[in-house]
Amino acid sequence: WVSGRPGLAALGLAHLQGRTVLPDPWRRLCLAALEKPRPRVELGLALRGIASAAIDVSDGLLADLGHIAERSGLAAAVQLVQLPHLPKGPTPDSLPRALALDCQLAGGDDYELCFTAPPAQHLAIGHIAASLELPLWCIGAMTSGPAGTVTVYDPDANPVAFDRRGFDHFA
């Protein structure tokens, strides 16, 4: 699961770095996500007793989900079609899909929460989303496999390779 819409802060940074040009209202939305992140403290408190693991998305969704997978001794499968939709509004022509996916999957500084929960908690998570007026997205599942491995799948269940997983503190 992931809260909100990871990648907005990274899109704001890409705009500031001149890697893309975001028109309003995208520019305002993405720069606000970068400059004034909203840590999901209320969500974290509401998930007590429901989530089995949680982490803030500060280094990138794939990297941070990889930390959960590693500590859990599991692998993770992320479905591209289940990722949060970018906000409605004019889609900037200058925003290549590869950049949007890189920001969404490997961008950081969103401070959204990535968490795991048993399937039996799906309804409870829906109630939390409604009470907090915060979109929560089930983006995949924890699976057996090499611990810490995160695989992204396209709509046809084919693995999709991504060179970058997020910020690496040791690189």
Would you write out the chain's pLDDT as a tens digit for each of its 171 residues?
A: 999 999 999 999 999 999 888 888 889 999 999 999 999 999 999 999 999 999 999 999 999 999 999 999 999 999 999 998 765 554 555 567 788 899 999 998 999 999 999 999 999 999 999 999 999 999 999 999 999 999 999 999 999 988 777 766 555
Q: What is the DSSP letter of 36?
A: S
**Whether 165 contacts 152, CB under 8 Å:** no
User: What is the residue type of 120?
Assistant: A
Dist. CA 147–CA 159, nearest whole Å: 17
What element of type H or E holds 123? helix 122-132
Dist. CA 28–CA 130, nearest whole Å: 25
Dist. CA 83–CA 77, nearest whole Å: 12
**Whether 17 contacts 76, CB under 8 Å:** no
The pLDDT value given to residue 166? 76
**Assigned token pair, 52:** 């089995």
